[in-house]
A and B are shown apart, each in its own frame.
Chain A
Amino acid sequence: MAVNPKYPEADAAAGFDLKAANFMLPVIYLLNANIEALAAKLGEKVETAPEFFHNTPVVIDLSGLPEGVGEAEFPLLVGLLRGYGMIPFGVRGGNPAQNAIAEALDLAILRDSYARKTKTADAATAADPAAVAAVLSATTQSDASPGVATVRRINSGFMLVTRPVRSGQRVYAAGGDLSITAAVSSGAELMADGNIHIYGPLRGRALAGMNGNLDARIFCLDLQAELVSIAGHYRVSEHIPKELRGVPVQIFLDQKILRIEKI
């Protein structure tokens, strides 16, 4: 957007030219809401070509998600992609609820006239042969129960939750810290772009630094978590040492390695 010094004769008042250009971008087609399976597949793809995905802008296509699914899951995907070094920059084919969340995540909403509502994995690849389509078809979970998401764009810098976060509930503090002054049940999920503070037992999952912030931390009084993650670097409960369970801890990244420390 800066004035190009090579062309001093260009109209100084305008300062820039606005032109349309076409870019070839990888598109990730989200076909269901099973983030775990998706993370595993994505991990495999990235392992095979880490350089290719590093700093690569990607678009997330939501048109293949069944109705009413994915409002809660796709912020997780964004965190995951950022954790793999990709730069998710926009979504397409989402419904208004999904678009609202995308906006909260600082993603662009791409109005794609080609995005069709009933895209299958095969059709998607065929329709977009030029794009490096990372079509991820994770196994469908037969969990029909709706995840209950609270997503809030934060202006004051943090979000406070004073009631217990129950199994199946998800809380996402987009753009800031999340503080919880009650218990977080097994099966509940906390997400924040900033730090997460839990003044009670953490029995569910906590994912801090969702927007790729490697400096984000998780603080909790009583760690019994199923999963903890900072900027996509995560650890599941079976890899959390016994002596760190049930005690106050902080969780952070040290040279991109997830560390859990007593406090």
Chain B
Amino acid sequence: MSRIIVITSGKGGVGKTTTSAALAMGLAQRGKRTVVIDFDVGLRNLDLIMGCERRVVYDFINVINQEANLNQALIRDKRCDHLYVLPASQTRDKGALSKEGVGRVLEELSQTYDFIVCDSPAGIEHGATMAMYYADDAIVVTNPEVSSVRDSDRMLGILSSKSRRAETNAEPIREFLLLTRYDPHRVESGEMLSVDDVQEILALNLLGIIPESKAVLTASNAGIPVILDRDSDAGQAYGDMVARYLGEEVPHRFLHAEKKGLLSRLFRG
């Protein structure tokens, strides 16, 4: 059985695409057949972060419109055999994502892949609702600030009512929280919300805390998912996230500004 995972957020620019790339790469490296789909039609950038922008010929919309088949549109990752990218179109409008079309493509992909990662655009516009509609799992990407938390809360409300699982009264979507761009210094100085502050409102299964890190921008400029940068804090935090998603118990790291190494590992979030 394949699982469809949507990476979503209410607010834009919180790190969804960074997370989609990291999750997809992390799952594939563990031998899972994985495809990552860019639902951000018109603003595609998953292919840039995956470093495959020069190999895009056909896109998701071409497949939906049956102008190309999946094998023509899927781009195999050069670093990992199990990973494929289905890029978004830069030119067409979002309306081209029809519910039937998306459903058909996901159905076909689920024959072959273990995990289908859907990189959603922000908000609750059409592209976002299409990305979440068929999801089994949702990772709600949130920054530790009030507006982002509130928007995530709203997103969760929509997830629990506007999905196939909700409409068919199936088991609800599994919801996870991923806190990104977490800066312990700014949390300690009170400029940012702490994990506990966020959880008081959202009360979700915490999949990980990704620290604010220069490594993210460096990696995305190079077209390398940051999870491959194992020396970086963000890369390691994304590695932990993938392990937790697959059911491993991993203590939360990078929560505190000073404490490093072994001591911080003893601190469970």
Contacts and interface: CB of A to CB of B under 8 A. Distances in A.
B166 to A, nearest CB: 9
B30 interface: no
Nearest to B151: A167
Given A145-B154, A163-B172, A169 B201 contact: no
Interface stretch (A3-11, A101-109, A183-191): A183-191
A226 to B, nearest CB: 13
Contacts of A41: none
A145 B162 contact: no
A39 interface: no
Interface in A109-126: none
B160 interface: yes
B154 A187 contact: yes
Interface in B147-174: 150, 153-154, 156-158, 160-162, 172
Contact of B162 (A148, A163, A183, A187): A148
A168 interface: yes
Contacts of B156: 164, 166
B157 A167 contact: yes
A166 B153 contact: yes
Interface residues of A, number: 18
Contacts of A188: 157
A167 B150 contact: yes
A95 interface: no
Interface string A126-169: 00000000000000000001101010000000000001111111
Interface in B228-245: none
A188 B153 CA distance: 10
Interface of B: 124, 150, 153-154, 156-158, 160-162, 172, 201, 203
Interface of A: 145-146, 148, 150, 163-169, 182-183, 185-188, 203
9 contacts: A145-B124, A148-B161, A164-B156, A166-B153, A166-B157, A167-B153, A169-B161, A185-B201, A186-B150
